């Protein structure tokens, strides 16, 4: 799919091997940017915590979820697991979500079978013509759910923060992406590192950002995302950050627009 001279990465996983770095917030920020541009977007909530579904204002009452899709990736099941979000407005392309569920943890074993690995890919293939962009909010580990997500993806954005343990986790994630690319899905590539929650006044953060750049070079994506409470406020209200008032929200919206440009300029 294309918009002007831009080519969309059809499926992007947002991953982190360390919890608490704001992976879901980044997913929601990119979804907000896509929504503001009228890009047909599906967000797949593959984290058993299901926070991205909450941030999109979707509840799973009387609906199927990603757990049902993993168990039976058939079109009838998928239709009942995908719902419009609270962001949907008349006259604008909707952002839909494949609803998350804590029950997805039942499929997150350490040793998935080859059949299990390809279940999300199988499901997305049935609806791929309906969306220009698919964002997968991954579980914060390297078990079956993350491997399913990566097998279905064109790119992986590794979300990190400028801290010692996050640097090590980013290195592990990039090595794991290469392993999956070589052994499972040759089309998979890292989009790069999305460095989140940066405090520019922190000497420690400056040191860790420089460390990331020395280790990973151009894989460290610009812009760095500063720590802003407006993101959490918009998320808590189930609103896109592009619609949230204030200069801080406008700054973050612009940052996510720039990141989305990077996503869209990666040609498969």
- Measured distance CA(26)–CA(184) in Å, rounded: 26
**Nearest one of 234, 164, 223 to 193, comparing CA atoms:** 223
Q: Are 220 and 193 in contact (CB under 8 A)?
A: yes
**Nearest one of 265, 255, 223 to 36, comparing CA atoms:** 255
Matching residue, tokens 């592990």: 172
User: Distances from the Cα of 32 to the Cαs of 128, 152, 210, 252, in angstroms?
Assistant: 20, 22, 29, 11
User: Distances from the Cα of 171 to the Cαs of 90, 121, 224, in angstroms?
Assistant: 43, 26, 18
φ, ψ dihedrals at 116, nearest 5°: -65, -40
> Which H or E run includes 35?
helix 23-36
Buried b (16+ CB within 10 A) or exposed e, 60-71: beeebbbbbbbb
Q: How many CB atoms lie within 10 A of CB 19?
A: 12
**One digit per residue, pLDDT tens: the chain, 268 residues?**
444 445 456 899 999 988 889 999 999 999 999 999 999 999 999 999 999 999 999 977 789 999 999 999 999 999 999 999 988 776 677 799 999 999 999 999 999 999 999 999 999 999 989 999 999 999 999 999 999 999 999 999 999 999 888 888 999 999 999 999 999 999 999 999 999 999 988 999 999 999 999 999 999 999 999 999 998 899 999 999 999 999 999 999 999 999 999 998 754 4
Token code pair at residue 22: 């704001």
Tell me the residue ranges of DSSP E strands in 47-131. 82-84, 95-98
Regarding pTM above 0.85, the answer is: yes
One DSSP character per residue, 112-180 reads: --HHHHTHHHHHHHTTGGG-SEEEEE--SSSSHHHHHHHHT-SEEEEEE-SSHHHHHHHHHHHHHHHHH
What pLDDT sits at residue 56? 95
62: helix, coil or strand?
Answer: coil
Which CATH code for domain 7-259?
3.40.50.300
**What count of Cα atoms within 13 Å lies in the side-chain half-sphere of residue 249?**
15
Q: Where are the domains of the chain?
A: 7-259
Strands 41-45, 95-98: pairing kind: parallel
One DSSP character per residue, 36-56 reads: HTT--EEEEE-STT-HHHHHT
């Amino acid at each position: 799919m294309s918009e002007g001279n831009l080519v969309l990465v059809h499926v992007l996983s947002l991953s982190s091997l360390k919890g608490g770095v704001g992976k879901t917030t980044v997913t929601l920020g990119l979804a907000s940017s896509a929504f503001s541009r009228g890009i047909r977007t599906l967000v797949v909530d593959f984290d058993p915590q299901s926070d991205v579904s909450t941030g999109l204002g979707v509840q799973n009452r009387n609906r199927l979820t990603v757990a049902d899709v993993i168990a039976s990736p058939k079109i009838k099941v998928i239709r009942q697991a995908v719902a419009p979000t609270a962001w949907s407005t008349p006259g604008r392309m909707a952002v839909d979500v494949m609803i998350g569920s804590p029950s997805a943890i039942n499929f997150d074993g350490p040793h998935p079978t080859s059949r299990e690995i390809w279940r999300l890919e199988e499901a997305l293939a049935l609806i791929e013509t309906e969306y220009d962009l698919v964002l997968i909010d991954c579980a914060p580990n390297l078990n079956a759910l993350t491997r399913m997500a990566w097998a279905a993806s064109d790119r992986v954005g590794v979300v990190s923060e400028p801290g010692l343990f996050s640097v090590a986790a980013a290195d592990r994630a990039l090595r794991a992406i290469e392993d999956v690319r070589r052994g499972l899905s040759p089309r998979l590539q890292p989009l790069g590192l999305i460095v989140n929650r940066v405090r520019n006044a922190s000497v420690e953060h400056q040191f860790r950002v420089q460390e990331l750049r020395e280790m990973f070079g151009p894989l460290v994506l610009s812009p760095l995302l500063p720590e802003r409470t407006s993101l959490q406020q918009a998320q808590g209200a189930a609103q896109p950050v592009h619609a949230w008032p204030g200069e801080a929200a406008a700054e973050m919206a612009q940052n996510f627009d720039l990141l989305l440009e990077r996503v869209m300029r990666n040609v498969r």
